[in-house]
Chains A and B, each alone.
Chain A
């Protein structure tokens, strides 16, 4: 079974630009969650999508948005990039939404650098 695939692996953008990151979950998984990882703040939850609907949302500004398609693939968009948005963005899929009997499977992330 193929794992969670995130594209691109690396991205360099300029402040003020926007960016779209992509995540393909494990086949059959309907839940996709996005996390931001930085050395200072660790892993922080952005949002979760299940069956094309945003089911849960973290404390990030509206510049961060996402969507999920009917095939469960998900995209995350960040508009008006700031230097502080530089981070590793991780996507995780699970069958029904991370719980003790539906664990998260992470991709290898997209490393975003904002200059």
Chain B
């Protein structure tokens, strides 16, 4: 089983602060995805990283895939209340059954004004 550990589990910060959440595994993934899930809704894809060492930016969000493709980080600059939600990472790999995604348990972020 390709396990993904996310840290921290919970994060409560004030508007304007910076934060980083981590997604770690002992397994290599062919790609890694980050999702955000708001209460009462399904996860929404933010970004997919494919190449080791890859960095992608989405406005104030910066995503990095580790060189060995085993870990990833999400950095948010100047967090806003609209960033509140559950951030999930998902590692993609190929098994005998085909393509599969394993999700971490998520980081629950609360940004207060």
A residues bordering B, Cβ < 8 Å? 4, 35, 41-45, 48, 55-57, 90, 92, 97-100, 103-109
Contacts and interface: CB of A to CB of B under 8 A. Distances in A.
B33 interface: yes
Contacts of B99: 56, 97-99
16 contacts: A35-B103, A42-B105, A42-B106, A43-B88, A43-B90, A43-B106, A44-B103, A45-B103, A90-B43, A100-B30, A100-B31, A103-B33, A103-B45, A106-B44, A109-B41, A109-B42
Contacts, number: 60
Contact of A99 (B35, B43, B92, B102): B92
Nearest to A91: B42
Given A57-B97, A100-B31, A45 B43 contact: no
Contacts of B35: 106
Interface string B3-40: 00000000000000000000000000011010100001
A55 B95 CA distance: 12
Contacts of A98: 92, 99, 101
Chain A at the B interface: SS class: strand
Contact of B98 (A56, A90, A105, A108): A56
B33 A55 contact: no
Contacts of A108: 40-42
A100 B92 CA distance: 8
Interface in B29-68: 30-31, 33, 35, 40-45, 48, 50
B97 A45 contact: no
Candidate in A45, A100, A108 with the most chain B CB atoms within 10 angstroms: A100
Contacts of A41: 105
A109 B101 CA distance: 18
Given A103-B33, A103-B45, A107-B42, A55 B98 contact: yes
Interface string B95-113: 0011111111110000000
Contacts of B106: 42-43
Nearest to A47: B97
Contacts of B104: 42
Nearest to B44: A106
